[in-house]
Amino acid sequence: MNDTKPVIAVIGGTGALGTGLSHRWAKAGYPLVIGSRSAERAVEAAAALEVPSGISKPRGMMNADAASVGEVVVMTVPFKSHAAILDEIAEAVRGKIVVDTTVPFVPPKVARVQLPPDDSAAISAQKRLGNGTRVVAAFHNVAAHKLQIDVEIDCDVLVFGESPEDRDVVIGLAEAARLRGLHGGPLANSAAAEAMTSVLIGINKRYKVDGAGLRITGIGATG
């Protein structure tokens, strides 16, 4: 990690959440690389991002290349591609922080909690990448379409990982995206936020809203 802003690689960066987070980090002046299975789509997505003047334009490339370039690597891929893409980038991310945003949806019933064998996608990722790589899980509960525009988002980001220092780095990335990040405890606790996303989707349907979120109360000011 540099003293300055780390290069963030967004794997699956052409998807809804990847686009939203990239939008916010680009605006905040973070150096970005957008990864995709298609280099062409990655280049397009990178070119569409707005950056402050004086900051170099994000680059687009294949996922594994992006993972090599990134100092912090953020996984924003569908659960069905999670394992395969982790295997693809495993060598490139060794020793780095991998921020896993994956929610283990089992379509079509995405409003039903259906936890995977490890109870958590983040734990699966850690097993897959091995102990040399530091998985931190976050950004499960925030509505992707809100990240893509410049609105205040009334949602906290719970950050899970074995090391408080690594969690602090990701809390910093949440703040750069104009969200409050909070220490959620060890990586196993990611199951709570992963499961809560299905609850929020059900609430969106039930209450006819389009971006229910989550706030932790009782710890002082939000935002």
Q: Does 184 bind a second copy (CB under 8 A)?
A: yes
Q: Does 196 bind a second copy (CB under 8 A)?
A: yes
Binding window for a second copy (CB under 8 A); candidates: 12-20, 27-35, 67-75, 205-213: 205-213
Q: Which of 150, 136, 165 is nearest to 28 (CA)?
A: 150
Q: Does 151 bind a second copy (CB under 8 A)?
A: no
Q: Which is nearer to a second copy, 6 or 161 (CB)?
A: 161
Binding window for a second copy (CB under 8 A); candidates: 9-17, 24-32, 90-98, 179-187: 179-187
Q: Which of 3, 138, 12, 6 is nearest to 70 (CA)?
A: 6
Cis before 108 (ω within 30): yes
Q: Does 154 bind a second copy (CB under 8 A)?
A: yes
Tell me the C-alpha distance between 85 and 141, whole Å: 22
Give yes or no for a contact between 13 and 42, defined as CB atoms under 8 angstroms apart.
yes
Q: Which is nearer to a second copy, 36 or 126 (CB)?
A: 126
- Rule CB under 8 A: choose which of 115, 148, 168, 175 binds a second copy: 115
- Rule CB under 8 A: choose which of 10, 158, 170, 179 binds a second copy: 158
Q: Which of 20, 22, 44, 18 is nearest to 31 (CA)?
A: 22
Using DSSP, state whether 118 is helix, strand or coil: coil
- Rule CB under 8 A: choose which of 2, 4, 131, 217 binds a second copy: 217
Q: Which is nearer to a second copy, 26 or 159 (CB)?
A: 159
**Least spacing, CB of residue 48 vs a second copy, in Å:** 27
Structure tokens at 148: 């893509």
Helix H, strand E, coil C: the string for 36-95 is ECCHHHHHHHHHCCCCCCCCCCCEEEEHHHHHHHCCEEEECCCHHHHHHHHHHHHHHHCC
Tell me which residues touch a second copy (CB under 8 A): 111-115, 119, 154-155, 158, 182-186, 188-193, 195-196, 198-200, 202-203, 206-207, 209-220
